[in-house]
Amino acid sequence: MNGLEQTCASLRAQIAVTEAQLAGLKRELQIAEQAAHDSQVQSTSISSEDGAKEDRRWPLLAEEYRRYGRQMIVPQLGLRGQLKLRSAKVLIVGAGGLGCPAAMYLAGAGVGTLGLVDGDTVEASNLHRQVLHRSRNVGKLKVDSAIEYLQELNPHPTYIAHREHLAPDAAADIFKDYDLILDCTDNPATRYLISDTAVLLGKPLVSASALRTEGQLMVLNNPPRPVGDNSGGPCYRCVFPRPPPANTVTSCADGGILGPVVGTMGVLQALEAIKVITADDTQPPSPPALHIFSAYSSPLFRTIKLRSRRANCAVCSAEATVSLDTVRSGSTDYVFFCGSADSEMLLAPEERVTPLEYQALHPPSEPGVEGKQPTMIDVREKVQFDICSLDNSINIPISTILASSTSKGDDSSAQLPSWVPPELAAAESKDPIYVVCRMGNDSQIVVKKLKELGLDRQGQRRVVDIQGGFHSWRKQVDPEWPEY
């Protein structure tokens, strides 16, 4: 045993050393890429000066005229707009469902410098919507996968990879070298961080979000006036002074997303970015607005006018309390401000069983032998239940359960809500009830609800949840269970 422990300790030490070396190599690579970028910019500047000395006839290369000609003949763009695009530096935070189409169209349009910030790697579940990534790149860093595609699409722009999750202490240093920021992230804490940093550095921001079949789009801090200047465009805090409760925030992994929906919002971000970059400086920008897209509604789009900057905004008003120093130092705590999204432990240990414990208590019946199985309530929504389900389980979606506020005040089953199956409501039934969901969070809520309704018969009947849900079921019991 001592030998095994020493081996484990040695392996852990080797892993720690390797991870430290890898982190160092990543930092060196980022420094080298930035140096290469600076060198290219300097070379371009020298070439431009030499071209000016030679009285060059045309401002673009012949290949650029061929590549961008179809958009240059659009009156709103023209040669002037194309030159603005070529000199623009745009940062995209998030190389996922929004960032991929946005980056693709901005690169295709000829934006001179395109930076991407993301610390995630490509997963198979990304591929139906994150269109820059390929099956062969699963496991690769998203920014590297994206830039690989973009370089094939258009070799003219300079692509800069920021291989990290955006953090408060580094955000300002990353943003300062760019003209325009695109928020392509999917969580409130990062959205507030991006907006605050953009405002404090005087950068316009194009923000979008998408979930299920709906999306939202805004152009913020446009025009980017100094803090306290009421003529500037509103920021994210102006529109949403308070974040939504953490337990109401649904991710794409939990709520689902249609690829074309998030693709539509990402393309619109690219469009708005092009409009901001190529805008006529003599004309005021479009009034601030929130554009709402709904794939299954008619019309598809609705627009809500937004007010100008809030007089008491914590970032862009004269009463601002958020500064670059408070962001960098961590005094502005975004996780605390938005609340923790971690699942709560609502049940005591004795009110939960693992999938392995359930299998030991209720082994599957032998083929051809009928055996009574306990009641298993699956509280996933029907669309998920239809994808995969356990034999003899009962589907009662949690949305149906939470929509009912009826509680049992005495022994009369007539007061139970209609979603309670009759076999559970029967007074003589003492069979245990198990509740399962996808990840083991909703099932805890339902167990408490069932006990509030008196279905535990004052402790005489066991009502418990499957800890970890089907995520753990796949790991512990059935490796062939569909992972979605």
Within 10 A of 156 (CB to CB), how many other CB atoms are there?
15
Is residue 30 within 8 A of residue 161, CB to CB? The reply is: yes
Query: Which residues in 413-468 belong to E strands, given as ranges?
Result: 433-436, 463-466
User: Is 389 marked as binding a ligand?
Assistant: no
Residue from 338, 346, 343, 344 nearest 245 by CA: 338
Backbone angles phi, psi at 160, to 5 degrees: -120, 125
User: Is 165 marked as binding a ligand?
Assistant: no
Pull the structure tokens for residue 13: 């030490």
Locus of tokens 């140096």 = 35
User: Is 118 marked as binding a ligand?
Assistant: yes
Residue from 104, 115, 233, 225 nearest 180 by CA: 115
User: Is 313 marked as binding a ligand?
Assistant: yes
Whole-angstrom CA distances from 470 to 115, 375, 393 are 38, 16, 13
Q: Note if 100 is an active site residue.
A: no
Locus of tokens 């760019």 = 178
Pull the structure tokens for residue 413: 């089953």
Locus of tokens 């559970």 = 424
User: Is 100 marked as binding a ligand?
Assistant: no
Give the relative orientation of helices 99-109 and 142-153 as an angle to the nearest 10 degrees.
30
269 exposure class (CB count in 10 Å sphere: 0-12, 13-18, 19+) = buried
User: Is 129 marked as binding a ligand?
Assistant: yes
User: Is 388 marked as binding a ligand?
Assistant: no
Per-residue burial over 436-475, b = 16 or more CB atoms within 10 Å of its CB, e = otherwise: bbbebbbbbbbbbbbbebbbbeeeebbbbbbbbbbebbbe
User: Is 126 marked as binding a ligand?
Assistant: yes
Kindly name the residue from 100, 184, 338, 437 that is annotated as catalytic: 437
DSSP character for 227?
T
User: Is 177 marked as binding a ligand?
Assistant: no
| Rg of the chain (C-alpha set) | 28
User: Is 333 marked as binding a ligand?
Assistant: no
Kindly name the residue from 8, 100, 252, 388 that is annotated as catalytic: 252
Handedness of CA 43, 49, 55, 57 (dihedral sign): positive
Concatenated DSSP letters for 41-109? HHHHHHHHHHHHHTT-S-SS-HHHHHHHHHHHTSTTTHHHHHHHHHH-EEEEE--STTHHHHHHHHHHH
User: Is 186 marked as binding a ligand?
Assistant: yes
Is 232 strand, coil or helix? coil
Please give the annotated binding residues for Zn(2+), written as ranges. 235, 238, 313, 316
By annotation, the residues acting in catalysis are 252, 437
Please give the annotated binding residues, written as ranges. 97, 118, 125-129, 142, 186-187, 235, 238, 313, 316
Please give the annotated binding residues for ATP, written as ranges. 97, 118, 125-129, 142, 186-187
